[in-house]
Structure 1
Amino acid sequence: MDVSHETASVYLLARFGSLWRLGMVEHPRHGGWMVCGGHFERGERPGQAAVRETVEETGYRPRLLRPAGHSLPPGYPHAPARPSNATTGGTAWWVVGIPAGPDGQHPQRHLHIDHIHVALADRPYGPTGPQEHSFRWVTDRELETLDTPADNRILGSALLDTVPATVAARHPRPARDEALRRELLRRRDIDQAFRNSLPRVLTDELSARWAEIDEDNTAWLKTVIDRAGWPGRALCGEDGADAAWLLAQHADRQPQLQQMWAGLLAEAVTAGDAAPEHLAYLEDRIAVHVEGGKQWFGTQHRPARGGGVYEPFPIHDPDGVDHRRAEHGLEPLSEATKRINGTNT
């Protein structure tokens, strides 16, 4: 084939609790499901094309992973190819030649010089934009029977197997900081002791003290994160990481920081350096209290109409909430609501 076009494809992966999934879009012309991707636009480099196509087709802004030096898996049907563009930008894991039929770019059969990228969606339940195509997340088992080309199935399965370890190995693992851990636990204990002692009716003095505690913890946590990154398990242990999340959860007076910290926490969760349930709580809190929308996990409650008991704020796909909660290490929503209302036995 004398005619070739440069394209970018993106194997977009995300972690759902302990389970990893691959993002697939429904092909608008040929049917079936494929990884996202498309032709380069004028002047684009491979990484730019990969990000643009992912955003347009899925609504997610991907975090591209640097190439890991892996070989294409056995049985992969396309041969390596030399990019026609002199500069690949160093973002593609592989470049292969894929025969293509007539399309909007060329009326005859031709060759796609495809720059294969691997990327992460660290917040699969977080903010997304408009989607050009139908989109779904699939597990390795679902991929086996999905209506998708063989190259997508073979490489997607291999990446679902290898990428989690690659991501974990690349995540920073600083030495344990015991002084930081102790300070996190001290601030957590003050936060919890104060909140647990609050009466139903707040005085102006108590409201002011509440704001003072939260604002001091938020300012302090910001200095820690600016200096050392997200305080994960490696840096400050399981209980220290739990305390860091709690302080971020209560930083409601600084919603822009909560949004930024959710991204950092999500990267730590993806790498196994933070608890998935922490991200579930923070995503819900931002969705409900900052964005005024629906939550995914049902972690945020409000007084029910008529008073007396608490109920969850509105939930996306309520029929699937307990499945999502289980994936992220949370008890069934009915049990959580009973506990919050003090009615569990």
Structure 2
Amino acid sequence: MAQAHHWPGGPPFSGPPGFFQTFREEREHAMGHFVITVLPGDGIGPEVTAEAVRVLEAVGQRFGHRFEFHEALIGGAAIDATGSPLPPETLEGCRRSDAILLGAVGGPKWDDPTAPVRPEQGLLGLRKAFDLFANLRPVRVFPALVHATPLKEGIVRGVDILFVRELTGGLYFGPRQEAGPDGEEAYDTMRYTRPEIERVVRLAARLAQGRRKKLTSVDKANVLAASRLWRRVTEAVVRREFPDLALEHILVDAFAMHLIRRPAVFDVVVTENMFGDILTDEAAVLSGSMGMLPSASLGEAPPGLFEPVHGSAPDIAGRNLANPIGAILSAALMLRYGFGLETEARAVEQAVEATLEAGYRTRDIADGETCIVGTREMGEAVARYVLDDA
């Protein structure tokens, strides 16, 4: 049944690596039952979430878990059906769930930025309702795709970065003023508090402890007061609570350059909201396609929100052309961070890698000597590899 008030095994990242072990051991003695709200959304969202569900069903079959899926409306589809981008029924369904799987929101039909009701308000509403303060975006270059990136093979080989983006503060949520139809001035405010910074830095540091023990904090402390607070708080938290980590501070403009010149040197990267938004989109070029990248948005308690980072891609919607791997890998993050199922998460990631090694490609990552397949066929292939390793 849904875990409405606490994460399995404790709050996310509240303990050392492997803190989910007790929960996993309990699940080994009884079938896991997890409730998942699926929000297909707009554009290619329904197609890619369908393949993520297919892969989760294969995981359930192999490992003896039962995943209970409930679909609901969000974004433009919800506006058309109900007038709201996040209907009350959707929000209530999410509250009763262990995790939320989202496809994408938006499209040309709802593109007017001055409209009082917009699809992206549904996504922002979820973040606010569940206080999803941290967005995790892993960027990994699969060996089979080192030639799919415009960068040299020697630059991208071995890249495995975990971005941790603060999600509920900063410039996007600070005091602002619109210019209005006749106005000549508008402003947005980057505002952070010590507690907001501390909680996301702690989360990133705990993740770094389970990886290569290197944490990079990105800011603009030479110009911005909010960044100087960010750097000061980050330094204090890591020095006091995580002395085993190697911490470095890099200015955002320098980091944007290093991300293209020497990305393999980075491990866990923590940064504020807007910088994280921009840098993770830049990092998509490393993986070969935006369609490859997953994400997880987490708060202090379930449910977490798991979604690919790509948009709704309305130009290819409904044509069986979209790359579902970002959504499938988001399901792997759900297994790891939402349910504490590390073995199952790795099984999905290994199945994706095996599928790519076998030569399967959607159009966005295709090269001359591979088998180009559609959204559905790619999802079917990954699901087969999940089951074949049983």
Report TM bin, short chain. Answer: under 0.3
Normalising by structure 1, we get a TM-score of: 0.26
| Larger of the two Rg values belongs to structure | 1
